[in-house]
Structure 1
Amino acid sequence: MNTTLIQMSVLMLCGAGWRLFSLQGLSADQTRMALTSVVYYFFLPAMVLEVLWKADIGWQSLKYSALGCSTILLGIIFTWLLTKLFKFKNAQTGAVILAAAYPNVTYLGLPVLEQAFGPWARSVVIQIDLFAAAPLVFTVGIALARYYGANMEEKPKSLLGFFNAPPFWAALLAVVLNLNHIQAPIWLEGLLQKLSAAVAPLMIFSLGLALSWRAIHLRNLPYILPVVIIKLLLLPWAAMHIADLAHLRGQFKAAAVLDLAMPSMVLGVVLCDRYRLDSALYAAAVTITTGLSLLSLPFWFGVL
């Protein structure tokens, strides 16, 4: 695990270094937008198709979904109670809830789990993402951002419209092919494997591009402390017990819980920008939880 995190850290630092030295006139945000778009619309669907086509889809998938949804919803409730207790303003409340409840299951979870457990762990990550995290982001997450934010759109976009995206279509196709026991041609299987291999390094580099140390201010620290405690300590502990209730055992439990122990998701920055939440606070939460996860992830890996 330590070797894996060192490798991930070096690649993230390369991305963070781009923010300091904008090569060829491309800013970090421009580069990140280009990379994440290519991953989201091309490389990630190829990985989803490759992994879910061969995955063991059934009761185990429902367990991953139940574990992921329960842990994230529990994080939302815990964080909401804390924001009420300390009387946070709406812009900070929305940002803190998103940062504390939603883990970076794919962009960081995928490369970490693949290196720590092996290629089979990619199936765990993708199923937790597509069957739990992503649906909750595009429904409950957006609803929370709208409620606490100041959306200026005249007509809100349908929540279901967010599921009209390449990864979800690839997942649907993969599940149909999987359940009908259709074998992939050798040439197609090899192509999908090559495309899938590009996902992890591009995601880690993009995560480095998203880190912003300038967003860290003393005024944000009182808001970030609850995020760190809930995201990196409380929710992984809760996920272990929920996994037991869902009858997840052994390496499957370890991989699933570790995926939910990841730091705050990067996508929340987009929601904060769009709905006028405290984007600087959220960016600081992503940066700090990602940095501290280099300590928390080995701890939970050892526990699991």
Structure 2
Amino acid sequence: MIDVLLQMAALIACGSLWRRFHPLGLDADTMRRALTGLVYVLLLPALVLSVLWQTPIGAESALIALAAAGGVLVALAAAWGIYRLTPLDAHRRGALILAAAFPNATYMGLPVLSTTFGDWGKGVAIQFDLFACTPLLLTVGILLARAHGNGGDGENPLRALAKVPPLWAAAAAPLLNLGGVPMPPLLVDLLKMMGGAVVPLMLIAVGMGLRWESLLPERLPVLLPVLLPTLTIRLLLIPLLVWQMAGFAGVEGQTLTAVVLEAAMPSMVLGIVLCDRYHLDTALYAMAVTISTALSLFTLPFWFGLAGG
């Protein structure tokens, strides 16, 4: 696990260095949007189709999705209950609740699981995210962002959900899988080639999106009390809860370890898009992502060892 995190940290560092030095005159935010757009629209759907077309789909898949959904919903409830008692304004509360609830299950979880467990781990990461986390983000998450902010075009969350290319692949691949449709050899190689670019590009994009200035010593005493509930829920409470839920439901062995790791991921980078769109406190959300990502380099090995890794 330490070797895996060091490899990931190197790629994240590449993205952070791009933000610092902006080679070729290209700023990091422009590059991040280009990379994540490419991954989101083209490369990630290819990877999802490749993995889920060949991954066994059954009762365990449903249990993974239920554990993921349970973790998100409990985190939403816990964060809402805590932050409603604080004097923070709605824009900040909404950002912190989103940061507590939604893990970076694909952008960071997919690299961790694929490197730790191999191709099999990709299937767990994709099912955890696309069968539960992303649908909840684009429905419940949008409704929460609207309630705490403003802006947006009033689009129905279900319509927004229908516009997510990886979800199209996540819907089509199990049907092809369960229908026994063989994958054409030419398509196997093409999807493998496209999917192979997802992990490094996602990690570099994560680095481009981090705001390391939030870790300056003079800012931490102000930030940490505000962020502490979010960090505690995201990195400690939810992995423990999902571990118990999944274990009680019958998930075991390496699958259980992989599910716990997914639940222990730092805050989802994609949440920045919702904060921008609905005028939540994007800077505060970005700080939560940065600090939770930095802390996860220590908490992920802890959960990996505790869950039987």
Asked whether the two chains share a fold, i.e. TM above 0.5, the reply is yes
CA distance in 1, matches of 2:34, 2:281: 24
CA distance in 2, matches of 1:282, 1:175: 34
Alignment check: 8 A CA contact 2:275 2:282 kept: yes
Which residue identity lines up with residue 167 of structure 1 in the other structure?
P
Query: 1:137 and 2:140 equivalent?
Result: no
Q: 1:48 to 1:205 in 2, by over 3 A?
A: same
CA distance in 2, matches of 1:245, 1:141: 27
CA distance in 2, matches of 1:165, 1:70: 22
Alignment check: 8 A CA contact 2:80 2:97 kept: yes
SS state at 1:136 partner = helix
CA distance in 1, matches of 2:87, 2:252: 40
The aligned runs of 1:1-304 (5 Å cut-off) are 1-151=1-151, 153=152, 155-163=153-161, 164-215=163-214, 217-218=219-220, 219-304=222-307
Alpha-carbon distance, 1:96 to partner: 0.8
Which residue identity lines up with residue 245 of structure 1 in the other structure?
F
CA distance in 2, matches of 1:150, 1:190: 45
Alignment check: 8 A CA contact 2:69 2:136 kept: yes
Once the two structures are overlaid, the 10-residue window that deviates more, 216-225 or 93-102, is 216-225
Count of aligned positions = 302
CA distance in 2, matches of 1:272, 1:165: 18
Alignment check: 8 A CA contact 1:265 1:286 kept: yes
TM-score normalised over the length of structure 2:
0.95
CA distance in 1, matches of 2:249, 2:160: 29
Alpha-carbon distance, 1:40 to partner: 0.7
CA distance in 1, matches of 2:37, 2:89: 33
The sequence identity of aligned pairs, in percent, is 47
Which stretches in structure 1 are left out of the alignment for 5+ residues? Answer: none
Once the two structures are overlaid, the 10-residue window that deviates more, 156-165 or 284-293, is 156-165
CA distance in 1, matches of 2:237, 2:118: 26
CA distance in 2, matches of 1:224, 1:103: 15
TM-score normalised over the length of structure 1:
0.96
Alignment check: 8 A CA contact 1:114 1:122 kept: yes
CA distance in 1, matches of 2:34, 2:214: 22
CA distance in 2, matches of 1:225, 1:177: 44
1:125-173 deviation per Cα after TM superposition (whole angstroms, max 9, x unaligned): 111111100010001101110001122x5x5011112222221111222
Alignment check: 8 A CA contact 1:215 1:281 kept: no
SS state at 1:85 partner = coil
Alignment check: 8 A CA contact 2:243 2:259 kept: no
Which residue identity lines up with residue 255 of structure 1 in the other structure?
A
CA distance in 1, matches of 2:164, 2:282: 25
Alpha-carbon distance, 1:215 to partner: 4.2
1:1-38 deviation per Cα after TM superposition (whole angstroms, max 9, x unaligned): 00000010011011000011111111000000110011
